[in-house]
Amino acid sequence: MGRIVQKFGGTSVADLDRIRAVAQRVKQEVDAGHQVAVVVSAMAGTTNQLVAWARDIGPLHDAREYDTIVASGEQVTVGLLAIALQNIGIDARSWLGWQIPFHTDGVHSAARIEHIDTASIAERLDKGQVVVAAGFQGISPEGRITTLGRGGSDTSAVALAAALEANRCDIYTDVDGVYTTDPRIMPKARKLNHVTFEEMLEMASAGAKVLETRSVAMAMRHNVNLQVRSSFTSDEGTMVVDEDNDMEKQKISGIAYSRDEAKVTLVGLPDKPGIAATIFEKLAENHINVDMIVQSASPDKSRTDITFSVGALNAEKAVACLKTIESDLEYKDIVSDPDVAKVSIIGTAMRSQPGIAKTMFAVLAEKGINLHVISTSEIKISVLIDADYTELAVRSLHDAFGLEEA
């Protein structure tokens, strides 16, 4: 039949009963005649505990030792799942990242996959053995264990599917697909049968928690057939596809939000060439990702303010590193605000349907929601607002665009 990669996250393998249930899911695909490679995360809560221990024993820890510690969670899971499969008559073997191997660069705790040697596991798959691979980890050019950062197991699964030229990559989570927005905020949210790679990429970058940005980008780049499914039901999930032939039917596909945001403003900068480059070069050197940016000049054009957003955990780091070049920037003040959230509307139909921004801004204005920063792409409009208004904004926009209707 075909070759399939299945990925199960931490909630899917949270305890032994769930691991046994995962084994039954894998068995279904094996019984259907497929070659199956399984990528698993650490059991729910395990990685957080390992991170806490690493930070507790040494707040300024060696990143190489940090990776050695936090990669151990997946080692437990692959062994348990391999045994569970063997117990139900399935030939299975566990593989750690360095054994396959997943070759990465040397950026510990945020490594990027450079290539995967699939010769050994492809041979096992051809013989009918299930490959149970540890997600989230690889091996550096120096031979050290590396980890891929947040969402690393999704990235591992998609990369493995691409390297194996798999027919499909199924990402199993605690939700049964991709919804028009978070059902916990909007009960009328509707599950999407399909969504484009572009839309999923924008949703992920805007805060949707179903898939991580890196994994979607990799699937898009290598044209991996991706499906988001629930570990706990047999329902069909959401297919992530290259194109959506029905894009004209709906102005937008979904609404995403992120409370993991902070706003940083540099006040009274000299309005001259090179200032912005100096700011964002310093942030890049410190591995701080910047999302939204806005600049406003004074009437006499002698001074300017630059506001940008970063992940909430990076706000203090961003302020601290910019203070080290205060004499170069000559700003009057630097202000950080952690009480903000990003709300985004996403849809490929924006390319051909005017008036979407007008509707979004009018709805938010009607609800008394002030916009701190606005950013746009071809298929996304994002606004930074006060965090207290997040749920009101999401519900109001969902209603305004009629997303509960198929």
DSSP lists the bridge partners of residue 212 as none
> How far apart, in whole angstroms, are the C-alpha atoms of residue 85 and residue 91?
7
**226 Cβ partners below 8 Å, 6+ apart?**
158, 168, 169, 171, 200, 211, 216, 219, 239, 240
Residue whose entry in the numeric block shows the structure tokens 């890196």: 214
Strand order in the sheet with 145-147: 113-116, 102-104, 137-139, 145-147
- Between strands 373-376 and 380-386, the pairing is antiparallel
From the number of C-beta atoms within 10 Å of its C-beta (0-12, 13-18, 19+), residue 28 rates as: exposed
> How far apart, in whole angstroms, are the C-alpha atoms of residue 128 and residue 122?
10
Residue whose entry in the numeric block shows the structure tokens 């929601």: 369
Q: What is the pLDDT of residue 247?
A: 46
Predicted confidence (pLDDT) per residue in 354-401, tens digit: 899 999 999 999 999 999 999 998 999 999 999 999 999 999 999 999
Task: Please report the beta strands in 179-242, taking only residues with DSSP state E, as ranges in sequence order.
Answer: 194-196, 226-230, 238-241
The Cβ-side half-sphere exposure at 176, using a 13 Å CA radius, reads 10
Residue whose entry in the numeric block shows the structure tokens 């100096």: 278
- DSSP type of residue 2: -
Q: Which residues of the chain have a pLDDT value below 70?
A: 244-250, 406
Residue 354 CB neighbour total at 10 angstroms: 8
**Could you give all domains of the chain from N- to C-terminal order, each with its CATH number?**
3-174 (3.40.1160.10), 255-400 (3.30.2130.10)
**What token pair was written down for 80?**
């348990």
Q: Is 35 helix (H, G, I), strand (E, B) or coil?
A: strand
Q: What is the pLDDT of residue 406?
A: 59
> How far apart, in whole angstroms, are the C-alpha atoms of residue 179 and residue 150?
21
